[in-house]
């Protein structure tokens, strides 16, 4: 393997890993606020991508369709939390997991009814010719994805550290009981976490749609990879989830390029098992006595 090939695999891995990272952030946000593993997170990406494509098909320009699709998906996330998750908050954790799995199946079936089985495409958001760099070919969409990830991380840092609502949400993550005693409405924070996670999922779906076909079933696999990224990076912090997503994307890219795409999923889940065996808190997670 020469350097150009190495660089090509690395760029591809970081591109895919950025998508996993966005979904992993959604997983972490919901899990740390509510204690729920939302296995419907990938379906938020599907809804975001497919609704954006539909809005463009109705004649809306892309710069208008994208924010509308994100807001629409965020509203669905809030609606799901208010109607399905909130009434079952006191149920056993396994019950909540089953609810989110059932929700994933339901949303996938709804997507099949609305959009059908035929794959749909989204025009590249960045209309620039491919860039040749040190023998590797860089898709401008990849650079756009990196930029989106960096901007979102900066915005999330500002939101969680510099705003009152973000501080309240972070307090709900750290110690829900203490946050409630201090007057923070933890139920409202739960709704906010689902809204934020749904918006992040929609962004992930929209920015990956120009690179791959968008279908009603696209959410399952990338949602599962987002969950794996969260576990690999650490379930209690956003930066760890991002690093987990990037690591997972790079592992997949090199395993597909050097071996075969047939083995990439098996290798990814092997990495997950190794991390769970040797680092149960994740590669970048920290052990803590608090429920996070």
Q: What is the DSSP string of 4-52?
A: HHHHHHHHHHHHHHHHHHHHHHHHHHHHHHHS---TTHHHHHHHHHHHH
**CA–CA dist 92, 94 (Å, integer):** 5
* Residue with tokens 């990196």, as numbered in its chain: 146
Tell me the two tokens of residue 83.
């109607």
At 189 the pLDDT is 79
For residue 173, the SS3 value is helix
At 202 the pLDDT is 93
Select from 8, 19, 29 the least CA-distant residue to 166: 29
Per-residue pLDDT of the chain (292 residues; tens, 9 = 90+): 677 788 888 888 888 888 899 899 888 888 877 778 888 899 999 999 999 999 998 989 988 999 999 999 999 999 998 898 888 877 787 888 899 999 999 999 999 999 988 888 888 777 777 777 777 777 778 888 888 888 988 888 888 777 878 777 766 666 666 666 666 776 777 888 899 999 999 999 998 888 888 899 888 888 888 898 888 887 777 888 888 889 898 888 888 877 777 777 788 888 888 888 888 777 776 654 444 3
Is the separation of the CB atoms in 292 and 281 below 8 Å?
A: no
At 106 the pLDDT is 93
At 174 the pLDDT is 61
At 172 the pLDDT is 67
Degrees to nearest 5, angle at CA 167 with 79 and 34: 40
At 69 the pLDDT is 94
Query: Taking the mean position of all CA atoms in its chain, how far away is CA 207?
Result: 12
Select from 204, 159, 197 the least CA-distant residue to 26: 197
Tell me the two tokens of residue 30.
């919901």
**CA–CA dist 108, 43 (Å, integer):** 7
């Amino acid at each position: 393997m020469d350097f150009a090939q190495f660089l090509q695999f690395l760029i591809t891995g970081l591109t895919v890993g950025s998508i996993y990272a966005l979904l992993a952030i959604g997983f972490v946000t919901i899990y740390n606020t509510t204690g729920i593993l939302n296995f419907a997170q990938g379906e938020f990406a599907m809804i975001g991508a497919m609704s954006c494509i539909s809005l463009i098909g109705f004649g809306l320009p892309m710069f208008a369709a994208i924010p509308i699709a994100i807001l629409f998906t965020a509203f669905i996330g809030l609606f799901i939390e208010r109607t399905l998750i909130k009434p079952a908050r006191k149920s056993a954790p396994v019950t909540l997991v089953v609810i989110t799995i059932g929700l994933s199946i339901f949303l996938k079936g709804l997507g099949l009814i609305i959009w059908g089985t035929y794959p749909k495409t989204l025009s590249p958001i960045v209309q620039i010719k491919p860039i040749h760099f040190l023998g590797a070919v860089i898709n401008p969409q990849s650079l756009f994805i990196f930029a989106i990830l960096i901007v979102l991380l900066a915005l999330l840092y500002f939101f969680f550290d510099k705003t009152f609502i973000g501080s309240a949400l972070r307090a709900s993550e750290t110690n829900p009981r203490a946050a409630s005693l201090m007057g923070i409405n933890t139920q409202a924070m739960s709704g906010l976490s689902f809204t934020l996670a749904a918006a992040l999922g929609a962004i992930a779906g929209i920015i990956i749609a120009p690179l791959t076909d968008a279908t009603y079933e696209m959410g399952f696999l990338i949602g599962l990879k987002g969950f794996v990224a969260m576990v690999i990076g650490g379930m209690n912090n956003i930066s760890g989830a991002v690093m987990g997503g990037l690591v997972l994307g790079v592992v997949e890219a090199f395993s597909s390029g050097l071996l075969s795409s047939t083995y990439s999923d098996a290798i990814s889940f092997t990495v997950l098992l190794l991390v769970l065996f040797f680092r149960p808190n994740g590669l970048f997670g920290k052990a803590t006595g608090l429920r996070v």
